[in-house]
Structure 1
Amino acid sequence: MHKNDRDLHQRMVRAAPARLTRRSLLGAAGAAMAAPALAQADWPNRPIRLIVPFAPGGSSDVLARLIQPGLGAALGQSVIVENRSGAGSMLGTEFVARSPADGYTLLLADLPYAIVPALQARMPYDVEKDLIPVVMVGAAPLLIFGHPSLPARNAAEFAALAKARPGHYTFGSGGVGAASHMMGELFQAATGTQITHVPYRGGGPAIQDLAAGNLNTVFVTVASAAPQLSSGQITGLGVMAAERMRSHPNIPTFREQGIDLVAEHWWGLLAPARTPDAVVQKIAAAMPAVLAAPGMAERLDALAVIPRSDGPEAFGQRIREDVARYGEIARSRGITAQ
């Protein structure tokens, strides 16, 4: 073999493994890219877990079980509701944040998800980085309820009483940093009043003490106080909504009374960060039909929950606004977790 031919042959032999290696790498890369796409197209192919970060029986648990069958039917797989309560909802939230980002573990978050960061110096997850919004489920206006003995027929009259006697009147809550606590702080900031906060271990005991006459007011949803309201043990003084509630049209809004305050308790689905967008969009697209299912409107109305199906962008904006809002109220009023 001629020297030049031998040199050419040797170069070809040396280059062959490199060419094969590049082809192998390209093939492997293509397979790796195709695998997630195939997984997304096939999603869901097994049951989906819906984590509720609170104990059974609360509003979040009730709402999760209301949407459970419809969501499963819309997605073509079973949805399993799982309660993981503890640490003011942080335990269940962290569990979802640390779960695989494959769409098979979702969180039913609510308003405290946006409040907790304002109270905790250190958290086991980052609300802006570790979870992503998927779709809203519903929202409920928050109200101020008073005891019938209170010499005020509405929120404006109560604000006048509180201004005249700073610190004399009380409002109960489900604990420091609870939504019912933050609503009372928002009310004081909006009205320039000073009302004594009485924290309880949960909203139920606070409502019971209000009905017993041991408190002047509480700030909660209708669902939290429905039995006491219907029995006349407590009265609705105002609703923090843009318009009156269809279920209780006799209760005026705060704005009607000259108090510029609108706030509501919301619920929605979140997923671990990096969950494929195709999966997120599929879940979001299913929610309107779930909320429009026969009988759902009546069930939600009984809880005074307004169905919402805002998608990832709008829901994400709501969360960011509430994180900022409650962060500011916590800082300005010196509220921290105890």
Structure 2
Amino acid sequence: MQRRALIFSAVAALPWAGQAQTQTWPAKPIRLIVPFPPGGTTDVVTRLIAAELTRSLGQSVVVDNKPGAGTVLGVDLAAKSPADGHTLVTVANSFCVNQTLVKNLPYDGQRDLRPVGLMGMSEHVLATHPGSGLKTVADLIAAAKKQPGKLSYASFGAGTSAHISGAMLEAQAGIEMIHVPYKGQAPALNDLIGGQVTVMFGNWPEFRQHVQSGKLVALGMATAKRSPLAPQIPTLTEQGLAIESNSWNGILTRSGTPDAVVQRLNLEINKALQAPAVVQAFADGGIVSLAGTSERFAAFIRSETDKYAQVIRKAGITAES
């Protein structure tokens, strides 16, 4: 109740001019671009929030999957949209990675897009398929050293958190593997299960059922300490690798969108994160809610961009590696 009181007091604090703007917005259905294919955690979270926003805003919030170019394609569509709050884009770690990794981005992440609100975060697990015969990180390192450049690791796409984590694994373990980028986690996961690639860092919510059924083998959780969601799985840190990896997601809009519209959107996203259906889905899926202000999200993006820039430069990671 206290959190709800804070949310509604924030609405009361909006300037009268801002309230007038929000009375005419949204004037039409809202397009919510997801720069990933359907089926992954970011797509699932976005659709949960979009359903709640549709109810609270009185206009349809239409999810539009536009994968491609390591999420650059979908983000660019939003960056070039009208600044009226009717086009939004869901971003993940790759948005911050691409600021350093991708040369000649068609948009300026700081200038052209404005943070609205964070949604959720999923822990990563490093997994392989049973046919690989690998049971631990030590097994993986030994096999990779025996066959330099033969084993492979999949990612959601060039510049995604799974790509960065795979490159960190290579650097820290002193091994060489082949990076195989996909247009999203779902197709990469399918190929991992099928044995087309050796290992992959991926979101625990999607990997959990496959680990439990024996279709995948968990080599380690990419968390600082053992996850309460999977306490039986050792961390990579326990096995000698200083790698922490996760996938977060949040919503941006075009820079220049009126402040009152951004504040209303942020308010409604935070309310959506408290909706019983969303709370239950997050709990079932092992997703952590990241409710907060748009200013907090902006600071988070700056911090993540700086963090990834240091990793990319130190490890010599490129979009092609």
Q: How does the TM-score come out when normalised to structure 2?
A: 0.80
> Are residues 1:217 and 2:199 paired?
yes
What is aligned with 1:245?
Answer: 227
**How much does 1:207 deviate?**
3.3
What is aligned with 1:80?
Answer: 62
Q: Distance in 2 between matches of 1:153 and 1:161?
A: 11
Question: Quick check: which has more Rg, 1 or 2?
Answer: 1
1:211·1:234 contact (CA, 8 Å) conserved in 2? Answer: yes
Q: Secondary structure at the match of 1:295?
A: helix
Q: Which amino acid is 2:49 matched to? A: I
Q: Secondary structure at the match of 1:109?
A: strand
**How much does 1:290 deviate?**
1.0
Q: Distance in 2 between matches of 1:90 and 1:147?
A: 30
**How much does 1:268 deviate?**
0.3
2:39·2:186 contact (CA, 8 Å) conserved in 1? Answer: no
What is aligned with 1:333?
Answer: 316
Q: Which amino acid is 1:40 matched to? A: Q
> Are residues 1:292 and 2:271 paired?
no
What is aligned with 2:23?
Answer: 42
> Are residues 1:197 and 2:178 paired?
yes
1:175·1:201 contact (CA, 8 Å) conserved in 2? Answer: yes
Q: What do residues 119-177 of structure 1 show as CA deviations (whole Å, max 9, x unaligned)?
A: 32111100111111111000111111123355654446645665687656442334443
Gaps of 5+ in 1: 1-33
Q: For CA contacts below 8 A with separation 6 or more, give which structure has more relative contact order.
A: 2
Per mean C-alpha deviation after superposition, the further-off stretch among 113-122 and 38-47 is 38-47
Q: Secondary structure at the match of 1:106?
A: strand
Equivalent positions of 1:269-288 (< 5 A) are: 269-288=251-270
Q: What do residues 273-314 of structure 1 show as CA deviations (whole Å, max 9, x unaligned)?
A: 122223222222223321121232332244332221132222
| Residues 99 and 209 of structure 1, relative CA distance in 2, 3 Å threshold | closer
Q: Distance in 1 between matches of 2:86 and 2:191?
A: 41
1:43·1:279 contact (CA, 8 Å) conserved in 2? Answer: no
1:284·1:309 contact (CA, 8 Å) conserved in 2? Answer: no
Q: How does the TM-score come out when normalised to structure 1?
A: 0.77
Q: Which amino acid is 2:21 matched to? A: Q
Identity fraction in percent? 33
1:229·1:235 contact (CA, 8 Å) conserved in 2? Answer: yes
Q: What do residues 97-131 of structure 1 show as CA deviations (whole Å, max 9, x unaligned)?
A: 12222222211111221222333211110011111
Gaps of 5+ in 2: 1-14
2:19·2:260 contact (CA, 8 Å) conserved in 1? Answer: no
Q: Distance in 2 between matches of 1:278 and 1:243?
A: 40
2:81 to 84, 99, 122: 99
Q: Which amino acid is 1:336 matched to? A: A
